[in-house]
Amino acid sequence: MAEMKDRGTVRIADDVVAVIAAIAAEETEGVASMSGGIAQGFARRVSGKNVHRGVHVKVDEVEARINLHVILNYGVKMDQVCKDLQYRVKEAVEMMTGLQLVEVNVKVEGIELKDDSPTPQPLVSSRVR
C-alpha cells in the first residue's frame, strides 16, 4: 500500500502482510500448521530471504491477494475451517494495514493426526471359513 500523506509515502511490505496473515492463520481453530512446501524451502536456502512458510502475498497499491498453504487437524470440518481461516486472515490484514483483500485462497496440503487420536485401521474385511 503506497499512500500519499502530508509528510510523504507509506508503503507496507509484502513480508509484513505475510506475517499478519500467518499469525491469524495459525490462531484459527482446526489449523495444525502452515505448509511451506519444497519450493519455499528451496527459495529460502537459495535467496537467504525469510520466506514466510505457507503464505504467498501480492500487494498492490491498495489491494492484496493472499495464498495460504495449510495442514489441518484430523477430524475437522475442512470447509468450515477454511471459511473461518479466510475470514480471520481478511479481518486481521484489513484492520491492521488498511489494504483491501480481494482474495484469500486456501490450499489444504495435509492432515495432522493428534498423538492421542486412534490410529486409522485398514478397511479390510476378515472372512471366517
List the CATH number of the domain containing 45.
3.30.70.1350
Which pTM value belongs to this model? Answer: 0.74
**pLDDT tens by residue, 72-124:** 999 999 999 999 999 999 999 999 999 999 999 999 999 999 876 555 555 55
Burial 9-34 (b: 16+ CB within 10 A, else e): eeebeeebbbbbbbebbeebebbbbb
The enclosing H or E element of 98 equals none
pLDDT in tens, 58-83: 999 889 999 999 999 999 999 999 99
Q: Evaluate whether residue 126 is within a structural domain.
A: no
Whether 125 is covered by a domain: the verdict is no
| Residue 77, domain extent | 2-112
Is residue 128 one of the residues assigned to a domain? no
Does the residue 122 lie in any domain? no
